[in-house]
A = this chain, B = another copy of it.
Amino acid sequence: MDADFEKHLAETIMRLEDPGLLLVSTSKQGKNNVMTIGWGLIGMFWGKPVFVVSIRSSSYTHEFIRESEEFTVNVPTEAMTGVVRYCGEVSGREHDKLSECKLDLLKSRFVRTPVIGQCKLHYECRVVYGFDLFPRSNLLRHLVRVIAAKVEEIFCHYSGRYRSLFFGEILAVY
């Protein structure tokens, strides 16, 4: 972890709250998608700097991250607030948000998933762990939740209502 990481930490967390950050993910076939995230965590895990994002199982992004095990997080400028709102409202399944919003994709340094040119700060992340979020509860309730979630994932994954936490090791910040 270096001075850059430290310097940008507070700004990233503040912008997460308002208006949100832009997360880019890439499918196995190389298709890119962008979504707005308002929840996120930064810290140290297994001795590594990590960016943790919480993604709903029904989202296009969930599918893409599962396939590529990568994502980039992009901190927007003030002028991009409208874009950030739009990318949080519609799904990549129905809209090509990247071209609709005229976002430029730039090649990343360490991952295949690109970063957004217009943004002022970029995190390149490789997923080191993924967890499905089920609150602590008794065994029976937990088992019911887990089975329901897996059934959803397999048979009707567009309607999946649980969330996964993806722990992305931060490979670069710039």
- Which of chain B's residues have a CB closer than 8 A to the CB of A164? 136
Most chain B CB within 10 A, of A44, A134, A135, is at A44
The copy count of this chain in the complex is 2
A contact set with B: CB distance below 8 Å: 1, 6-7, 9-10, 13-14, 16-17, 38-47, 49-50, 52, 54, 129-136, 139, 142-143, 146-147, 150, 164-165
Most buried by B among A41, A134, A139: A41
Q: A49: which B residues are within 8 A, CB to CB?
A: 13
User: What is the CA–CA distance of A130 and B10 in the complex, to the nearest angstrom?
Assistant: 25
Pair B41/A17 contact, Cβ less than 8 Å: no
Cβ–Cβ contact B13 & A42, under 8 A:
yes
A46 / chain B contacts, CB cutoff of 8 Å: 39
A169: min CB distance to chain B, Å: 13
Q: Report the separation of the CA atoms of residues A165 and B52 in the bound assembly, to the nearest whole angstrom.
A: 12
> Are A130 and B139 within 8 A (Cβ)?
no
Q: Please, how many angstroms separate the alpha-carbon atoms of A150 and B142 in the complex?
A: 10
Distance, CA A143 to CA B133, complexed state (A): 14
